[in-house]
Amino acid sequence: MGIIIDKINLRHVRMPLKSFFETSFGRTYARDIVLVEVISDGLSGWGEVTAGENPFYNEEWTGSIWPLICNYIAPRILNFELDGPEAVGPRTAHIRGHMMTRGGVEAAVWDLEARRNNVPLWKQIGGGAHKEIACGVSIGIQDTVDGLLKKIESELADGYQRIKMKIKPGRDVEDIRAVRKEFPLVKLMADANSAYTLADTDHLRRLDEFYLMMIEQPLAHDEIIDHALLQAKLDTPICLDECIRSAHHAEQAIRLNAGRIINIKLGRVGGFAEAKRVHDVAQKAGIPVWCGGMLESGIGRAHNVALASLPNFVLPGDVSASKRYWARDIIQPEVETTPNGTIALRDGVGFGYDIDMDFLDSITVRRESLS
């Protein structure tokens, strides 16, 4: 029997980060997150739209989500018999881009479907190959190198399996050199968030001496071909983030040798169905993947945990404990890591954690019901 969504509840929540997060495109002090609840026959599924507060990572931002769902997505999803969660992608395929907004709704329908079937979300998506997912941390650009070293030390003490540091021009070679000197054996990588161009090729080659696991998205957000030209000149493997928005992009990037690793973000590719396709394309080509993060609340975080349980997620991802981000998360229990730097899958239905509704209500700044 298909799914008929009879109501969509949107809410915008504001969550201050414990400490600011700086990338090459700017600083974030607080998250403005849109959560999507889809309701069918009295059962709810929840999703999180992973767009940032500004259209700097990609074109989406908190302000673009609401009108897109109200005007374009809800009318295609509400009161229509969907064959399953896989039908959400095709129902919204006429919309250009906005994968995170479409993906937030899609993920909510997967959560709903898992609850209808009384199974955990990881099982519903065909995951569970890993019962514990391997965790790394993404560390933003710090004011001082000394601050960065201290932060890394404390993350390693908490058991995290690899360190990712954000870089940008002027905060790259010397910062990494200092980290490598202090932590010669740590699994280390750098994320540039598109801060360089091919003109920086010789400069980026200087990173080869630090035997990084990978450099993530050094070049433009929509550029596959230049990454192929750069990869041919670098020993360090390139990992693609921003420019893989579909399984087709993954196929093109792999065919061109534009990188050797792919970061899969649930939102960036429009939800679970496409994330699984990216995963499968990479797996067939022998390309390892890992699960990226977008500073998610507990709901998006729990969805990421489910995704990362698919078999080809063989590298530690950017999914880490709630307490690294939030004084208080919106789920109970919060997402926690083991001393080995892993997160264990949970057996509860749907995304596997309870929503703290009172707390959620207290941080909600806007809501709307669509039916």
Nearer of residues 49 and 192 to Mg ion, judged by Cβ: 192
Rounded Cα–Cα distance for residues 115 and 354 (Å): 13
Per partner kind, with CB cut-offs from 5 to 8 A, the member of ligand OSB, Mg ion, none near residue 272 is none
For ligand OSB, which stretch binds (CB under 6 A), given 102-110, 273-281, 291-299, 334-342? 291-299
Per partner kind, with CB cut-offs from 5 to 8 A, the member of ligand OSB, Mg ion, none near residue 271 is none
Q: Are 155 and 139 in contact (CB under 8 A)?
A: yes
113 scored as a contact of Mg ion (CB under 5 A)? no
Catalytic (active site) residue 151: no
Cα–Cα separations (whole angstroms), residue 147 to 69, 139, 142, 295, 317 = 41, 11, 6, 20, 23
**Contacting residue, 40, 92, 193, 309, with ligand OSB by CB under 6 A:** 193
Choice among 7, 123, 233, 265 that is catalytic = 265
Report the nearest approach of ligand OSB to the CB of residue 76 (Å): 28
For ligand OSB, which stretch binds (CB under 6 A), given 37-45, 179-187, 243-251, 286-294? 286-294
**132-134/238-240 β-pairing:** unpaired
Per partner kind, with CB cut-offs from 5 to 8 A, the member of Mg ion, ligand OSB, none near residue 57 is ligand OSB
270 scored as a contact of ligand OSB (CB under 6 A)? no
Nearer of residues 106 and 216 to Mg ion, judged by Cβ: 216
Contacts of 95 (CB under 8 A, 6+ apart): 68, 72, 73, 102
Catalytic (active site) residue 265: yes
C-alpha 32, offset from chain centre: 16
For Mg ion, which stretch binds (CB under 5 A), given 108-116, 125-133, 208-216, 333-341? 208-216
Rounded Cα–Cα distance for residues 83 and 282 (Å): 27
Residue with tokens 């394309």: 281
DSSP for 152-201 reads HHHHHHTT-S-EEEE-BTTBSHHHHHHHHHH-TTS-EEEE-TT---GGGH
Rounded Cα–Cα distance for residues 29 and 362 (Å): 19
294 scored as a contact of ligand OSB (CB under 6 A)? yes
The site string for ligand OSB over 144-183 (x = CB under 6 A, - otherwise) reads ----------------------------------------
Closest listed residue to residue 66, CA positions, set 14, 103, 12, 110: 12
Choice among 164, 166, 168, 276 that is catalytic = 166
**Contacting residue, 53, 111, 172, 241, with ligand OSB by CB under 6 A:** 241
For Mg ion, which stretch binds (CB under 5 A), given 24-32, 84-92, 183-191, 337-345? 183-191
Contacts of 61 (CB under 8 A, 6+ apart): 51, 52, 53, 54, 55
241 scored as a contact of Mg ion (CB under 5 A)? yes
**Contacting residue, 295, 315, 331, 355, with ligand OSB by CB under 6 A:** 295
**Contacting residue, 22, 106, 172, 191, with Mg ion by CB under 5 A:** 191
Per partner kind, with CB cut-offs from 5 to 8 A, the member of ligand OSB, Mg ion, none near residue 175 is none
Amino acid identity for residue 141 in this structure: I
The dihedral built from the CA positions of residue 156, 158, 162 and 167, taken in this order, carries a sign that is negative
**Contacting residue, 318, 330, 342, 343, with ligand OSB by CB under 6 A:** 318
Amino acid identity for residue 160 in this structure: Y
**Contacting residue, 45, 89, 267, 292, with ligand OSB by CB under 6 A:** 292
DSSP assignment letter at 5: B
Nearer of residues 87 and 192 to ligand OSB, judged by Cβ: 192
Per partner kind, with CB cut-offs from 5 to 8 A, the member of ligand OSB, Mg ion, none near residue 138 is ligand OSB
Rounded Cα–Cα distance for residues 182 and 150 (Å): 10
∠ CA 355-160-31, nearest 5°, is 40
Q: Which residues bind to Mg ion, rule: CB under 5 A?
A: 191, 216, 241
Positions marked active-site? 166, 265
